[in-house]
Structure 1
Amino acid sequence: MFFALSKLVWFVFSPVNLAILLAALAALLSFTRLARPARWLGAAALLALVLMAFSPLPRIVIRPLEDRFPQQDAAKGPVAGIIVLGGPIGVARGDVVLTSAGARITKAIELARQHPQAKLVFTGGSANLISPVTKTEADGARLLFTGLGLPPERLLFEDRSRNTVENAILTRRLVDPKPGERWLLVTSAWHMPRSMGVFRKAGFAVEAFPVDYLSEGEPDDFIRPYMRAPRGLTIADDGFKEWVGLLAYWLAGYTDALLPKP
């Protein structure tokens, strides 16, 4: 229920979708006796889109999330396993497709080569709410990892999870971590606070290894505009969604804190 509701609510209240829907509503109302307030509504929706598309607002929103968990020193000790959260990969026409979060995959492979004794675990099913599931993200990861020559005995795939909560619960069941083992969690930096909170709540002690940064970590993050509207809109959507997700997961009892910290 939570999964379906979260998808439907976010479709409407995603800031980009909401601004577009409000602009469309304003256009329709402009032909009625509500034309005057419709113009104000349309102007507000357009302003919101411009701010998200070109201003530094997306970085301002996402930067605190990316700063929350610094990347750990992977070489400081033996690693039992490397966990990669779903989102960066899929299958289309029988071949591997990497998304803009592909750094999760490339970093996980790098870490796997650095720690040849560690298990490499990919967790991700399908987050599709409407279409029937034919291929999961784990299928894409399996194609890629085996195609790159990683030994099959090192690989584990969890292919039933649809969100971060299920990632944590099902992965813990799959790997059955032992006390004292070191497990690295690889996901996008802006997604790491919620992920760490969920894994802690599930009783799985992992170390944060954030990747896929969308801000530079420099002072000009707060003043530098975007030159391409799709880039700004995508980052704004990811950032706002993550803040909403943190609140929703905390209220639902899925995380150990509103804003988990190291």
Structure 2
Amino acid sequence: MFFVASKIFWLLASPLHLLLILLLAGLLLAPRWRPGRALALASAIALALIVFSPASALLIRPLEDRFPQQSEIMPPPKGIIVLGGAVNEQIARARDQVTLNEAAARMTEGAALARLYPQALLVFSGGSGALIDSSAKEADVARLLWRELGVPESQMHFEDHSRNTYENALFTKALVNPQKNETWLLVTSAYHMPRAMGVFRALGMAPEPFPVDYRTQGNATDFRPPGDGARAMMNFETATREWVGLLIYRLTGKTKALFPAP
């Protein structure tokens, strides 16, 4: 129920969808309702600010900077947990080809860490994020990709039922049964790491964060007007979803902190 509700909520609450709905409503109401013009103008200004200002970087960078970037030089871990979200399983099945999205670094860094630490287990967690047809699984694409990248079959383990971050942690814990004296790495996008760490901790796991897939440069360049409006909008949507997710996960008891920290 939580998964379905979150999908429907975001369909309406997505900044792009919401602002376009308000803009259209304002334009339709303007001839007969004077505030309609103000609504349309405010929506248009908000869209322009997202596209032409550094608003997206200001929103996503605190998420990315929450957990520091890690070096690959460390004591060998027991295992490496890679969270789903980097695979387009529907297109992959339709085209019969590995298809990754902008979060592909989750997958490639997971494979690189597996090659660096051949004794460590490489665990992928991700089923289907589709609301209607959930038969295509991210885990199936992950298996094919890692096999093509040379990861031994015996090193790979897959959890293919989870549909969100909470289920990632819940089902992965059941799969690997981590012990307190073991070191596990958690690989996911830097902006997603606070919520992911919060959930894993709430369920009794304490993995080492290994953030990847940065959307900002981490310097003053981030605060300049973006040169790519489409990417700015995408980053704004991503950051908004993550901040809302942090709030909802805290309110529903899935994390113990509103903004988990190192």
TM class, shorter-length:
over 0.9
Take 2:180 and 2:173, find their aligned partners in 1: how far apart are those partners?
Answer: 13
Shift of 1:178: 1.7
Q: How does 1:56-95 map to 2 (within 5 A)?
A: 56-89=54-87, 90=89, 91-92=92-93, 93-95=95-97
Number of residue pairs aligned between Structure 1 and Structure 2: 258
Q: How does 1:19-168 map to 2 (within 5 A)?
A: 19-31=19-31, 33-34=32-33, 36-89=34-87, 90=89, 91-92=92-93, 93-130=95-132, 132-168=133-169
Take 1:86 and 1:187, find their aligned partners in 2: how far apart are those partners?
Answer: 8
- TM-score normalised according to structure 1 size: 0.96
SS at match of 1:75: coil
Which runs of 5 or more structure 1 residues have no equivalent in the other structure?
A: none
Take 1:44 and 1:258, find their aligned partners in 2: how far apart are those partners?
Answer: 30
Shift of 1:26: 1.2
Native 8 Å contact 1:88 1:105 kept in 2: yes
Native 8 Å contact 1:96 1:144 kept in 2: yes
SS at match of 1:143: helix
Take 1:127 and 1:189, find their aligned partners in 2: how far apart are those partners?
Answer: 20
Deviations along 1:68-105, whole A, 9 cap, x unmatched? 00023332212111111101013232111010000111
Native 8 Å contact 1:72 1:207 kept in 2: no
Shift of 1:148: 2.1
Deviations along 1:96-143, whole A, 9 cap, x unmatched? 10100001111111111111111111100111112x223111111011
Shift of 1:233: 0.5
- Runs of 4 or more off by more than 6 Å in structure 1? none
Shift of 1:19: 0.4
The percent identity for this pair of structures is 52
More deviation, 173-182/73-82: 73-82
SS at match of 1:240: helix
Native 8 Å contact 1:87 1:101 kept in 2: yes
Query: Which amino acid is 2:36 matched to?
Result: A
SS at match of 1:185: strand
